[in-house]
Amino acid sequence: MSLFDYTLKELQEKLHKQEITVSDLVDASFERIHEVDDNVQAFLTLNQEEAKKQAQQLDEARGSDASILYGMPIGLKDNIVTKGLRTTAASQILDNLDDPLYDATVVNKLKNAHTVTIGKLNMDEFAMGSSNENSSYQKTRNPWNTDYVPGGSSGGAAASVAAGEVLFSLGSDTGGSIRQPAAFCGVVGLKPTYGLVSRFGLIAFASSLDQIGPITRNVEDNAHLLQAIVGQDKMDATSANVDIPNYSEATKQDVKGMRIAVPKEYLQEGVNPEVKEAVMAALKQYEALGATWEEVSLPHSKYAVATYYLIASSEASANLARFDGVRYGVRSENADDMMEMFTKSRAEGFGDEVKRRIMLGTFALSSGYYDAYYKKAQQVRTLIKNDFEKVFEDYDVIIGPTTPTPAFKVGEKVDDPLTMYANDVLTIPVNLAGVPGMSIPCGFSSEGLPIGLQIIGKHFDESTVYRAAYAYEQATDHHTKRPNLGGDK
């Protein structure tokens, strides 16, 4: 069987009728991985033996009250800690972390829902990148055209879902790292409100920005996966104590009367004409569904990229100080004394992009520059957050493109970090403000590459985001398209 052919509900119905088993699903996932992953290179570590053993146990134990996610094969980004399963954050400095001692909170929640972890997914090292070319192990490719990048940093997570290797995956989003690869790979990716999902067990990049979220092939599956991982966690002081609604119920509501804001800054110069055309067509579709839209302004968005890279790099500088060859990480074997061991361990273990951001962050936090850079960036962050809050006084959601362009070719921008950073210009403001944002497919470029539509909601109002996304998805067929990877589907 092919996981491509079914939704989560359809697979659960087949399990309930005993037309298939959990072992069938897990076998199908590994068969697909062995068929296409040499080209896609989404997985860093496979959990084949343990996954098959778990599938047999679930087949024997299944009851009528099983979770909607029961037995479903899932992939996890490799910065989410998994007990007993290698976790590297795609970095050589964690190459020896073969047997972590605990599970991330989201992994525990998935185990409680009885999903089956298929393996760990490739990413930009320590989640620093927008193309998956910064992994120290391999370059993941876009399933729609393997000459192109899948986006990053959750490129492996998005590519694995788009390629039909797993039904869904978890990624992390610091400045667009779920939504941008979801757009490039033609899948659905949600960055939840900051604090809605526990970060305990997520290897930190920038602690005030990082958020774990679901990547799926359709909106309803996404809602079910989010439902399983949300909630306050005593192990994460930043997790929020809020009421959790039934997200899948939101998909049953239409969008008649919904008020949509379209920021003029999101459709200005620099946005590919095909992307703009796809977004405008989506807005017309919303009009046909009974929603209204108006152009608004988020005036401080133009400062978002500079603000983000100062804050994120500063937090990365502090978070990555622990990786020194003593407390965490691989220790250099070429050192003659303690100081040389520290410096060589970090020099050999970290890649160029990680070093670049550590140096930038250390500079921004240093004496004499803190007020001019880091403090000023935090002040601008507040202005960006206020822009969103002002718009949400009059509108239900904000809609625009997820990325300025479709996917670019492997190697095209890797040597130009400033251009690469600018690729996140439309996703970064969402992280700075802490609001939820989702990317859904809204069309294809003339080269057959997916285009993403970004839907942004109010704090902790994922339900409205799902409502808007599902209504559009059901009125179009973009989400039903599949990449012609290896000649099938």
Q: Are 60 and 108 in contact (CB under 8 A)?
A: no
Planar angle of CA 86, 87, 93, nearest 5 degrees: 110
Q: Residue 408 has what pLDDT? A: 95
Domain-wise residue ranges, the chain: 3-255+473-480
Instruction: Please give the full DSSP string across 248-272, using - where no structure is assigned.
Output: HHHTTS--TT-EEEEEGGGGSTTS-
Given the residues 77, 120, 413, 458, the one annotated as active site: 77
Superfamily of domain 3-255+473-480: Amidase signature (AS) domain (3.90.1300.10)
Residue with tokens 């800054």: 265
Q: What is the rounded distance in angstroms from the CA atom of residue 65 to the CA atom of residue 428?
A: 40
Give the chain's residues under pLDDT 70: 64-65, 486-489
Given the residues 29, 130, 153, 439, the one annotated as active site: 153
Residue with tokens 């978002």: 304
Q: Residue 489 has what pLDDT? A: 36
Q: Residue 488 has what pLDDT? A: 43
Catalytic annotation present for 332: no
Planar angle of CA 202, 173, 379, nearest 5 degrees: 105
Residue count of the chain:
489
Catalytic annotation present for 169: no
Given the residues 135, 169, 177, 439, the one annotated as active site: 177
Q: What is the rounded distance in angstroms from the CA atom of residue 77 to the CA atom of residue 87?
A: 9
Q: Residue 487 has what pLDDT? A: 42
Q: Residue 417 has what pLDDT? A: 77
Strands 188-191 and 116-121: unpaired
Q: Provide the CB-side half-sphere exposure for 377 (13 A, CA).
A: 21
Q: In the sheet where 116-121 sits, what is the strand order?
A: 43-46, 116-121, 73-77, 168-172, 212-216, 188-191, 437-444, 450-456, 397-401, 259-263, 292-296
Task: Give me the residues paired with residue 398 across strands.
Answer: 261, 456
- 208-226 residue pLDDT tens: 999 999 999 999 999 999 9
Residue 190 φ/ψ, nearest 5 degrees:
-120, 130
Strands 168-172 and 212-216: antiparallel
Task: Give me the residues paired with residue 43 across strands.
Answer: 121
